[in-house]
Structure 1
Amino acid sequence: MSALQYTPIDKISEIRDTLKQTFRSGKARSLAWRRHQLHQVARMAKENEEAFMAAMKSDLGKPRMESWLGEIAGLVKRILLTAESLEEWTKPEYPEVPDWQKPWRPTVYKTPKGVVLIIAPWNYPMVLSMQPFIGAIAAGCTAVIKPSELVPAFSALLAELIPKYLDPEAYAVVNGGIAETTKLLELQWDHIFYTGNGRVGRIIATAAAKHLTPVTLELGGKSPVIIDADCDINIAAKRILHGKCTNAGQICVCPDYVLIPEHKQDEFIAALKEHHAAFFPEGPLNSSSYGRIVNSMHHGRLMSILNRTKGTIVLGGKTDGKLGLEPTIIKDVREGDSLLEDELFGPLLPIMPVKDVDEAINYVRSKDHPLVLYAFTQNQQLKERLVAETLSGSLILNDACTQLAVNEIPFGGIGESGYGYQILKYTYDGFTHLRSSIDVPYDNEDPFRYPPYSEEARKLIESSMNLDIPPPPVNGH
């Protein structure tokens, strides 16, 4: 596998300028051309799936099933759906207007924003670089992809394959670290799509503001789980544990901590232990179905958090002395604990006992809006309360992480967990400008809009505008 070669900094402006020239030439606007480029991305993924899985195994210790299903197969499916949808998504819209405006033919055109920058993270390096990328292609943009330097095998492979499969005058990979990213952010882009953490997200947004560049920020945060005492504790434990173990917990929608009525805590822990034994009969650190932590810095960060907790470890907690860390369950975690400070982004699951769901809801409301709020309940009234009384990027009921498999709903955060959306048409929309237009016939004249103005003309216009305001309600009804 190729070593990761950083892009020379003095070439980065040249790369951007080439893409800008290509965009201005109009090459990327043809739907047939966009469809071909999309199919080439799909071919790249399919024809090199063994190489991509090997790269992600090298970088992350990611199990083959997780790489294939979570990074490759689902991505190819979305590429094909995108290619099939181009005509529908890109066709102009003709909004319904009052009869007197119909001769103007009001139209909304779907136009590409231009040259875009995609900065991808390390935890799901393929899907989180390619998913925004296919939206940019579909929108008719040209694009630079900046993959993470923390996954060198994947990033080197992507840089090698992109120019082999796609038009190198329209799409490019820039590899590097802080210096290369800083150079990218000094340049003007027409949209920046960043996936990562809030600290870097603020840097991205600040740099973008200098050029008034719109930004999509896909961030993370602490996604809580609320467990209703009357739910099926066994199935809740199974699904939560699976979500926590996926990619060794290094996933932005990972269940971060659990809020559970205190009298149900021990039953929940017993169920977690049972499913853990079934998932990893040979132990997680010996299992081909469990990944590892990306590097020693993140491994050390997780061990530091675990060493400082005041909670009680009831399962796991061991490391192999390298980058492996067992799924670890910690009970009786209280406010102010190290496990509740920042997003864990690892296989640690704190359990925070509460009096009831009211206390759980109030706790969630007191924190930053999470990317996901999970809840396990069959109580319809509680479901409606969660919709009405909480805010999060997504509200997921009775499962963990499977929302990512639904193509028809948006994925995105709110507040500290980011802004903007993605998945299929939502990604396309993010890279698309809605360009409004009217075409007023010369014989469609309104004499009352021209000076000299008169009170008679104003009253005539007012009579046609229906400006009557409904009366206020009586007794609140």
Structure 2
Amino acid sequence: MQFTPVNEIPAIRKELEASFRKGVAQSLKWRRHQLYQLARMVQDHLDEWVQAIIADLGRPIAETYPSETGLIIERSIISATQLETWTAPEVLTEVVPDWQKSWKPTIYRAAKGVVLIIGPWNYPMVLTLQPLMGAIAAGCCAVVKPSELSPHYSALLAKLLPKYLDPSAYRVILGGPDVGAQAMEIRCKSHIFFTGGGKVGRIIATAAGKHLTPVTLELGGKSPIIVDPNYDIKLAAKRILWGKISNCGQICVCPDHVFVVREKQEEFIAALKEYYHQFFPDGALASDSIGRIVNEAHFNRLKGLLARTKGNIVLGGQTDDKLRMEPTIIKDVTQEDSLMEEELFGPILPILPVDSMEDAISQIRSRPHPLMLYVFTDDPKLKKNVLANTLSGNIAFNDTFQALSVNELPLGGVGDSGCGYQILRHGFNTFSYLRSSIDMPRDAEASLEVRYPPYTKEKVAFLGTTSFMNIPDSHL
């Protein structure tokens, strides 16, 4: 992969800013064409994309089709067909008071400008092209920097994107942190969209703060799972194990650790073992149905966490020289364990036994807010209790990972797990801003006379009307 020379980045930015000022991305017809071209770029070179992702991650094709290639094609088409709806001015004459109706109060959704999208390596296609999709729909120009840790995907993106999308509006830059840092330092005032870890997210936010640049941060975190003892334990185990092995656990909403009451821990472990052997009859290391760890550094990090755990490994734990790791289950883990120090981002599943569901909720509240919270229960009271007493970017009841497939739902964090949203209309809104307006008619002048000096007693009394409004009584 050939990196973009750092000294070329200011010129790229200048070219895109000139295109935005010229209104290149303004036409809905033009935006629609770019979105369809995005879908065509993926579909025309489907095998190349799949092979690039296999080379970078060893991920099974069966996981890449629905979560990356298919998702981008489907959502690009949906975005193209929804442009008129999303961009339509919102005229507020039905909701404002009668005396303001003639002002034509209106909200427009305007493009922010030239935006910077910094993508991760774990889902390299969807987490670079999905934000780009929102930027295109909003009428922005964009610089896209994919991760240097997914070199095959990144090189292919740099090769194909200018053949399908207008290169005067959309450019790919390749490189490591120095390239990303340079891209942020050239007065990027429009928007930065970053997906990755919290450590780099803080660097991004600090750099953006120098120029008051708005940011979207998709940061992940340790997404916990609560298993109600009255729920179907076997079904919960099956769905949790599937969520843990998807992309070998390398996803921002991966189920990170499980809270289960002590008396159900062994039953839950037995169910996990049963489905492990169903999923991998000859063992995970001999299977083509699970990916590998992205690189040696992350591989060694995971092995180091396992080496230091005080919990008991009851399944898996084996690795090979191809950066493959078995799904690994560890029981009797505590909050002080090595496995609770950071987001695992791998096929390791700690089980934390608790005394009650209230105990699980209390432990979740004591930690940074995750991007996703999973709860397996049919009890409406427990659902209400979790919703009322925890904070997370998203919450899913009775399944894992699949929540991201719902086109209408936003994905976004809170607190340490990030800020801002993406997916279809929510991505469009991220790269737009609300531009309000009024159009004061000439014949409204008579009603406006009260605002002009001199301020007589009658004018003051009229202008003070709302300051003396009656406030209804309220009692707790």
Pairwise TM-score range, normalised by the shorter structure: over 0.9
In 2, the alpha carbon distance for the partners of 1:188 and 1:80 equals 33
| 8 Å CA contact retained: 1:49, 1:68 | no
| 8 Å CA contact retained: 1:198, 1:416 | yes
- Which residue does the alignment assign to 1:368? 368
In 2, the alpha carbon distance for the partners of 1:129 and 1:178 equals 16
Matched, 1:166 2:168: no
- Which residue does the alignment assign to 2:471? 469
| CA shift digits 1:402-433 (9 cap, x unpaired) | 10110111110000000001110000000001
In 1, the alpha carbon distance for the partners of 2:349 and 2:367 equals 18
Matched, 1:55 2:57: no
Tell me the amino acid that sits aligned with residue 175 of structure 1.
L
- Which residue does the alignment assign to 1:144? 143
In 1, the alpha carbon distance for the partners of 2:408 and 2:335 equals 37
- Which residue does the alignment assign to 1:117? 116
- Which residue does the alignment assign to 1:30? 27
- Which residue does the alignment assign to 1:291? 291
In 2, the alpha carbon distance for the partners of 1:362 and 1:285 equals 37
In 2, the alpha carbon distance for the partners of 1:45 and 1:299 equals 30
Equivalences for residues 228-377 of structure 1 within 5 A? 228-377=228-377
Tell me the amino acid that sits aligned with residue 279 of structure 2.
F
| CA shift digits 1:366-425 (9 cap, x unpaired) | 111111111111111001111111110111100000101101111100000000011100
Tell me the amino acid that sits aligned with residue 97 of structure 1.
V
In 2, the alpha carbon distance for the partners of 1:9 and 1:307 equals 40
- Which residue does the alignment assign to 2:3? 6
| 8 Å CA contact retained: 1:62, 1:292 | yes
Matched, 1:427 2:410: no
**Which range is displaced more, 437-446 or 160-169?**
437-446
**Which range is displaced more, 461-470 or 135-144?**
461-470
1:464 deviation in Å? 7.2
- Which residue does the alignment assign to 1:39? 36
Structure 1 residues 452 and 405: CA distance shift in structure 2, 3 A: same
Tell me the amino acid that sits aligned with residue 107 of structure 2.
V
Matched, 1:217 2:217: yes
- Which residue does the alignment assign to 1:180? 179
| CA shift digits 1:18-57 (9 cap, x unpaired) | 0000000001000000000000000000011100000000
- Which residue does the alignment assign to 1:451? 453
| CA shift digits 1:127-169 (9 cap, x unpaired) | 0000000000000000010000001000000000000111110
Q: Which runs of 5+ in 1 are unaligned?
A: none
- SS of 1:102's equivalent in the other structure is helix
- Which residue does the alignment assign to 2:413? 413
- SS of 1:248's equivalent in the other structure is helix
Tell me the amino acid that sits aligned with residue 50 of structure 2.
M
TM-score, with length taken from structure 2: 0.98
1:460 deviation in Å? 2.3
Q: Which runs of 5+ in 2 are unaligned?
A: none
- SS of 2:193's equivalent in the other structure is strand
In 1, the alpha carbon distance for the partners of 2:263 and 2:220 equals 30
In 2, the alpha carbon distance for the partners of 1:99 and 1:268 equals 62
In 2, the alpha carbon distance for the partners of 1:109 and 1:243 equals 40
1:458 deviation in Å? 1.9
In 1, the alpha carbon distance for the partners of 2:192 and 2:379 equals 41
In 2, the alpha carbon distance for the partners of 1:247 and 1:182 equals 28
Matched, 1:74 2:71: yes
| CA shift digits 1:87-109 (9 cap, x unpaired) | 00001001221111111111111
1:465 deviation in Å? 7.8
Tell me the amino acid that sits aligned with residue 339 of structure 1.
L
In 2, the alpha carbon distance for the partners of 1:400 and 1:119 equals 26
- Which residue does the alignment assign to 2:99? 100
- SS of 2:255's equivalent in the other structure is coil
Matched, 1:132 2:131: yes
In 1, the alpha carbon distance for the partners of 2:463 and 2:385 equals 46
Structure 1 residues 68 and 472: CA distance shift in structure 2, 3 A: closer
- SS of 2:121's equivalent in the other structure is coil
- Which residue does the alignment assign to 1:392? 392
In 2, the alpha carbon distance for the partners of 1:452 and 1:33 equals 53
Structure 1 residues 98 and 355: CA distance shift in structure 2, 3 A: same
- SS of 1:444's equivalent in the other structure is helix
- Which residue does the alignment assign to 2:193? 193
Aligned length: 471
1:125 deviation in Å? 0.1
Alignment RMSD, CA only? 1.0
Matched, 1:437 2:434: no
| 8 Å CA contact retained: 1:410, 1:422 | yes
In 2, the alpha carbon distance for the partners of 1:402 and 1:33 equals 33
Tell me the amino acid that sits aligned with residue 65 of structure 2.
W
In 2, the alpha carbon distance for the partners of 1:18 and 1:369 equals 40
In 2, the alpha carbon distance for the partners of 1:287 and 1:472 equals 64
Tell me the amino acid that sits aligned with residue 457 of structure 1.
K
- Which residue does the alignment assign to 1:83? 80
**Which range is displaced more, 440-449 or 164-173?**
440-449
| CA shift digits 1:298-357 (9 cap, x unpaired) | 000000000000000000000012300110000010121000110000000000001110
| Sequence identity percentage | 56
- SS of 2:142's equivalent in the other structure is strand
- SS of 2:236's equivalent in the other structure is helix
| CA shift digits 1:198-217 (9 cap, x unpaired) | 11111101111111110000
- SS of 1:144's equivalent in the other structure is strand
- SS of 1:225's equivalent in the other structure is strand
Tell me the amino acid that sits aligned with residue 28 of structure 2.
L
1:463 deviation in Å? 4.2
In 2, the alpha carbon distance for the partners of 1:370 and 1:420 equals 14
- SS of 2:442's equivalent in the other structure is coil
- SS of 2:225's equivalent in the other structure is strand
TM-score, with length taken from structure 1: 0.97
| CA shift digits 1:437-465 (9 cap, x unpaired) | 01111221111101111222121234478
- SS of 1:29's equivalent in the other structure is coil
In 2, the alpha carbon distance for the partners of 1:428 and 1:75 equals 15
